[in-house]
Structure 1
């Protein structure tokens, strides 16, 4: 056992030093991304007037709203997002880059979203996912962050073993489970490292392990095998079939708004049918069909965007028939587990509470790296002093 503990210690230390910088970057960016969705929506809608101009006025039909905004922007939107609330503007997206917010009652464009907030989170996300690499270098950045995730999982698991006190007494347990005052230097770093590691151990394993699942196809396939299913193709293993949230689906991904032309008709009846599938919806995202007579796919969400059990996708034909309705309950166990892990990484699977926990865990991870590196440097310094002592004599 002593030999095993020593082997785990040096494995823990070496991997921690080697991957420390990357883990620190991912932890800090993870903290900054904690409330990304809420902050982006707040910044987009702040100060916008989406209220009806007169009491009792009804919102414009979806087809009328869409055609008027398309005419004013001289481009065809690729998606439209409705949010619950009588005074909330409707969001129309034009590919990845452009979006406008229109009054649902007049079709007047009242805002274009927060370019600054979205730009900030785009930069942070780039650092978190691929170390801000551009173009062809993104594959290298993605490989580096994936390896760092895997290394961090090894660090966390070995750390749980190393944390366990050799003498299981109340005094020894208390010294590594609670912050002690008056400490400095090595004693302080050791105390902080152990206490933060103890209180964050279980959620940290979930966050990091889910990050490994996101990073590696083999890990994602393993999730399906654990659930007793054959892994799906790479496309099917991506976003949950229960429907991406509006912030995930930059609608018309791969398309850009072009000159306004023939818009798909009969959207209003289909929107009404979609709403009936989830009466307590909070957001409805329609990726606009590219052909006038194509089926319309509505992503329904009664949560905050990252709760897969509160999302569904309804595919509705031109005559108002529900051709397909996918929800969390209709998915296979493997797909449900995969979607849970996807949003366990950000904590969103538990709503705002889970996001807060994930943010605190990310902050704790940064402190674990800091104290771990500090302890390693102190150990190296002490070793160098011991090596130099005989030469001085």
Structure 2
């Protein structure tokens, strides 16, 4: 009787957990693959808003602000790093709106247009709900996806262990790095599962470790305890800062506030400015360095309405644990290094989508071999 080895245990865990969760993981990974380039795909099916850079000088920000106020309450203004891109005004056109609508504004002509709905909006919302909740009620779908994600983490680690041969020598390791396309389809299928799974493994582990933060409160709390800082702690903008100005204090215009911000953060980059609506509210501004490699890393300023700097947060000066917690979302979405990381995540998700299929075929082929061996005996 053969000894039940540790490797056999890992193989059985990998096999049965994979078979049990395969259909759910297939749909979660497929929807995740499609969501990686959601914005870029939707942009292909909507008319691009054109900025006329030949129209002369940019219109002063305060004039644009006054003009757009006619559409509703302005929540925030986004100023791009590039001169040929439109300003984005987030405006509550209806008091019932939670986030407001986005208006594209040409800073040279003053022309503006409300964001056009894409014909793919409904499709991608379905993909989002499939990815997060398997199209079920949140209370039912969230734990199902969460448990499947935990299983996927175990599958990724156990798969990596099984990738290594029993005897670790270069001649034994070498076949695991390539797909033998000259072999029969069973061998090719095995290599697709084994080799592609190995290359995607590190990215799949990152996706599962970060994705679980949305599935389980206990996991998010445990992660916060390990990091020593709250994950998603800045949701809602963090602690509120109130203006300390007296009624007779001279307040600055939005253009002057932006000048203060650019002097505090003296580099070219995209700015997002939250606009105060009451005398007690203040300006909150984030800025991304256009020369940096990551489009999601931002510095933050909180400014009173007279231009006083109430708070200044430079991402590079934050403790490592705070920086890691702030990057949970971009690490999961693949946006951390822009298009470069999104391409890698797209390929990794595509491989992840194929793993339940190739894994099931490997099991099925082995299953068919057993009766043949029994008959030969």
TM-score by length of 1: 0.79
1:277 and 1:157 mapped to 2: Cα distance? 46
**SS of the residue aligned with 2:89?**
strand
Structure 2 unaligned spans of 5+:
92-97, 239-250
Moved more, 103-112 or 299-308: 299-308
- Residue 103 of structure 1 deviates from its aligned partner by 1.7
The corresponding residue for 1:125 is 128
The corresponding residue for 1:376 is 363
- Residue 305 of structure 1 deviates from its aligned partner by 11
> Superposed, which structure 2 residues align to 1:27-176 within 5 Å?
27-39=29-41, 47-52=48-53, 54-55=55-56, 57-61=57-61, 63-71=62-70, 73=71, 75-94=72-91, 95-96=98-99, 98-110=101-113, 112-133=115-136, 137-176=137-176
Structure 1 unaligned spans of 5+:
242-263
The number of residues matched between the two structures is 357
Q: 1:287 aligns with which of 274, 277, 280?
A: 274
- Residue 235 of structure 1 deviates from its aligned partner by 5.9
Pair 1:236 & 2:239 matched = no
Decide whether the 8 Å contact of 1:300 with 1:313 is kept in 2: yes
1:313 and 1:88 mapped to 2: Cα distance? 22
1:104 and 1:305 mapped to 2: Cα distance? 25
Q: Structure 1 318/131 Cα, relative in aligned 2: closer, same or farther at 3 Å?
A: same
The corresponding residue for 1:332 is 319
Moved more, 361-370 or 209-218: 209-218
Decide whether the 8 Å contact of 1:309 with 1:328 is kept in 2: no
The corresponding residue for 1:266 is 253
Moved more, 76-85 or 90-99: 90-99
**SS of the residue aligned with 1:279?**
coil
Q: 1:8 aligns with which of 7, 10, 15?
A: 10
1:308 and 1:53 mapped to 2: Cα distance? 28
- Residue 273 of structure 1 deviates from its aligned partner by 1.9
1:226 and 1:126 mapped to 2: Cα distance? 29
Q: Structure 1 215/48 Cα, relative in aligned 2: closer, same or farther at 3 Å?
A: same
- Residue 124 of structure 1 deviates from its aligned partner by 2.4
**SS of the residue aligned with 1:77?**
strand
Decide whether the 8 Å contact of 1:345 with 1:358 is kept in 2: no
Moved more, 156-165 or 207-216: 207-216
2:312 and 2:41 mapped to 1: Cα distance? 30
The corresponding residue for 2:289 is 302
CA displacement 1:249-300 (0-9 Å, x = unmatched): xxxxxxxxxxxxxxx9832221222233333343222233231452011122
Q: Structure 1 7/307 Cα, relative in aligned 2: closer, same or farther at 3 Å?
A: same
CA displacement 1:97-137 (0-9 Å, x = unmatched): 6322122234322452453354443332222222234xxx1
**SS of the residue aligned with 2:287?**
strand
CA displacement 1:62-102 (0-9 Å, x = unmatched): x321221231x3x2232222212223221122354632212
1:237 and 1:79 mapped to 2: Cα distance? 17
- Residue 156 of structure 1 deviates from its aligned partner by 0.6
Decide whether the 8 Å contact of 1:220 with 1:237 is kept in 2: no
Pair 1:177 & 2:177 matched = yes
Q: Structure 1 195/53 Cα, relative in aligned 2: closer, same or farther at 3 Å?
A: closer
- Residue 314 of structure 1 deviates from its aligned partner by 1.3
1:33 and 1:364 mapped to 2: Cα distance? 15
The corresponding residue for 2:207 is 207
